[in-house]
Amino acid sequence: MDITDIHDRIFVLARSAIGVDVHTYLNETRKSLYGLLIADGGASFRPMFGDPPAVLLDAANARPSDTVAGFCVDVGEALRINIRADVFLLSEAMLYETGYQLDAIIVHELAHFAIDSANDDILRSELTTEDRQTAAELYARTDRQMERVTRHNEYFCQVLIVACRRWIADRNDLNIQDALYLAMKFDVDGGFRQ
Ligand SMILES: [Zn+2]
């Protein structure tokens, strides 16, 4: 996917997968959304969208990351810099993924965003008994030793399942198992086996 398309992709997927209008959210919270590309194999951050200020780039580059993607709500507090913003992070390598892989990663990060920004009411209200069972099974397969860092607790798994179901609602070429697989394949201990 072209780097210039990522911003719009996030807004479109936020509406379908987590039921959030990001424009409204940013207006109401008086925040900006910046995109940073995780470049050079995780050694540096580069601007992706939203024209990130130098203070953000400098602070981010002081602690590089080699993760696949990330969503940081209130990055000013996290990095102790004076900006009101959320940040979406994406590894450069993800731009070369094909099919639904990149969308699935964006949905995964939007599930984190929904929880961290307290925009998870809709997802929680659509949670079924069966979803709770699936989430328990998914959670059992995650790298729970790293839960403090990954924030992949059981509630995250529940929210992710509802977000994936909403995302694929109008697609008949993707089922929930495949959607979950794509959304979690980089995060499951020892690989993800369906
Ligand atoms: Zn995650």
Per-residue pLDDT tens digits for 126-176 = 999 999 999 999 999 988 888 988 899 999 999 999 999 999 998 999 999
Same domain, 32 and 68: yes
pLDDT reported for residue 143: 85
Three-class secondary structure of residue 24 per DSSP: helix
Is position 60 within any domain? yes
Q: How far is the CA of 68 from the centre of ligand 1 (A)?
A: 9
Is 80 exceeded by the pLDDT of residue 189?
Answer: no
How far is Cα 176 from Cα 178, in angstroms, rounded to an integer? Answer: 5
Could you report the per-residue pLDDT of 23-45, keeping only the tens digit for each? Answer: 999 999 999 999 999 999 999 99
Distance in Å from the first CA to the final CA of the chain: 27
Is position 52 within any domain? yes
Q: How far is the CA of 106 from the centre of ligand 1 (A)?
A: 10
Q: How far is the CA of 173 from the centre of ligand 1 (A)?
A: 24
Count of domains in the chain?
A: 2
How far is Cα 170 from Cα 188, in angstroms, rounded to an integer? Answer: 27
How far is Cα 159 from Cα 114, in angstroms, rounded to an integer? Answer: 8
Give the percent of the chain with pLDDT over 70. 97
Instruction: Look up tokens 């694929």; give the residue.
Output: 168
Is 70 exceeded by the pLDDT of residue 192?
Answer: no
pLDDT reported for residue 2: 83
Same domain, 36 and 112: no
126's tokens: 């659509």
Q: How far is the CA of 152 from the centre of ligand 1 (A)?
A: 6
Q: How far is the CA of 51 from the centre of ligand 1 (A)?
A: 25
Same domain, 16 and 71: yes
Same domain, 105 and 44: no
Is position 191 within any domain? no
Same domain, 119 and 87: no
pLDDT band at 121 (very low <50, low <70, confident <90, very high): very high
Identify the domain containing residue 144 by its residue range.
101-184
Is position 55 within any domain? yes
pTM: 0.95
Strands 69-72 and 85-91, bridge-based pairing = antiparallel
Residue 99 CB partners (closer than 8 Å, separation 6+): none
Is position 156 within any domain? yes
Is position 57 within any domain? yes
How far is Cα 108 from Cα 159, in angstroms, rounded to an integer? Answer: 9
